[in-house]
Amino acid sequence: MLSGIVDAGVPVPHDEGRIVKNMVKGEHIAKYGKSLDAGSEVYSSKFSRYLAEKVSPEKLPEHVTKVKAEIDGRSRLIQKPRLRLKLSLRLRLRLRLKLRLKLRLSWVRKCRLRRKLARRVVIKHDIKAKQRETSSLETWVPRTRLGRLIQEGKISSIDEVFLSGLKISEHQIVDALLPDLQEEVINVNLVQKQTDAGEKSRFKAIVAVGNRDGYIGLGGGKASQVRNAIEKAAAAARLNIVPVKRGCGSWECGCGKPHSVPFEVEGKCGGVRVVIVPGPRGLGLVASEVAKVILGLAGVKDLWMRSFGATRTVPSFAFAVFDALKKSYNLITQADWVR
């Protein structure tokens, strides 16, 4: 009994000495079968079971190994759907999140769960983004005039694009002109719409892109899969890319280097209003974590930020910061005069 269980691969704690190895394969039966006369009455009565199954008792060990190999082969086949199991784990996590949201658990726990989900996704996303970047630019076939101009080499910098006034309608344009673009997932959220069959859940991602040197883009994307939502958001962020006017607007500094914003700027989105105040060199980013990510990608280093309204709403807050940076080019200063 024990030998049978152990042989089947079930991890049972046992004393090795208690199992006689050749008994497992039935070698003792084979030996006994050989000692008897194959035609005798004793033989047929003793081995009636084997004979009914058309197994000769003398060849029992070979038969056992054959059957065992078959079982092993089949169990390998059974193990294959492991991949599906992994996917369902992700699904389970998502379901858990959905459930907890429904149960209206505490805000902190909700946040923790969301962050956990986002972190997992970000790691996977980073790998995918690198793969995508190398493949998509090479196989890119431009569909717009601007795209063709860039592929022909007539436009070689993003400044020319903004001076030309042409609209960026393909995200590959930005990838081609700003090769050192960095991506950051700002927020991933579960959103639902009501259908006749209940709620339809989708994920909404907010992604910021920037080269840490004066260009920033922010975009959102929705999809039923988190990864697809992030990809959509990343593409949208590229289309939204804008230059940020940098300067030294602080009276405490006056160095004239582009380390901050040249003047106070205000941005709004939804119920959020933010004010970016230029600061002296060495100050750093005096802002919340979300704002720091966006401001860092934009390439400004020293500023204060004041925010008003529903700043807990991360998407609105992020877009308000983006709006403020965008508005840095709304005002024409003396430095912009062309003489």
Residues lying near Zn ion in the complex (CB under 5 A): 248, 253, 255, 281
Pick between residue 239 and residue 277 the one whose CB is nearest to Zn ion: 277
Give whole-number Cα distances, 239 to 173, 207, 313, 333, in Å: 9, 12, 23, 27
Least distance (Å) between residue 257 CB and Zn ion: 5
Helix 27-35 with 60-79: angle, nearest 10 deg: 150
Phi then psi dihedrals of residue 241, to 5 deg: -65, 135
Least distance (Å) between residue 244 CB and Zn ion:
16
Q: What span, in angstroms and rounded, lies between the C-alpha atoms of 98 and 260?
A: 41
Tell me the backbone φ, ψ of residue 305, rounded to 5 degrees.
Answer: -130, 135
> Measuring CA to CA, which residue among 27, 26, 44 is closest to residue 36?
44
> Are the C-beta atoms of residues 212 and 299 closer than 8 Å to each other?
yes
Q: Which of 73/256 has CB closer to Zn ion? A: 256
Closest residue to Zn ion: CB criterion: 248
Least distance CB 276 / Zn ion (angstroms): 15
Q: Which is nearer to Zn ion, 173 or 265 (CB)?
A: 265
Nearer to Zn ion, 74 or 257 (CB): 257
Using the structure block, give the residue that is written with the tokens 């060495």.
282
Q: β-strands 265-269, 272-278: how paired?
A: antiparallel
Q: What are 187's strand-pairing partners? A: 206
Cα(252)–Cα(133) distance, integer angstroms: 42
Give me the least distance between CB of 259 and Zn ion, in Å please: 6
Tell me the one-letter amino acid at 262: P
Beta-carbon count within 10 A of 333 CB: 11
C-beta of 170 vs 302, nearer to Zn ion: 302
24 or 283: CB nearest Zn ion: 283
Between 5 and 255, name the residue whose CB sits nearer to Zn ion.
255
Residue with tokens 């609209």: 167
Our CB check for Zn ion shows the closer of 253 and 325 to be 253
Residues 6+ apart with CB under 8 A from 337: none
Q: What is the DSSP letter of 170?
A: -
8 A C-beta contact, residue 183 and residue 210: no
Q: Contact 277/306 with Cβ under 8 angstroms?
A: yes
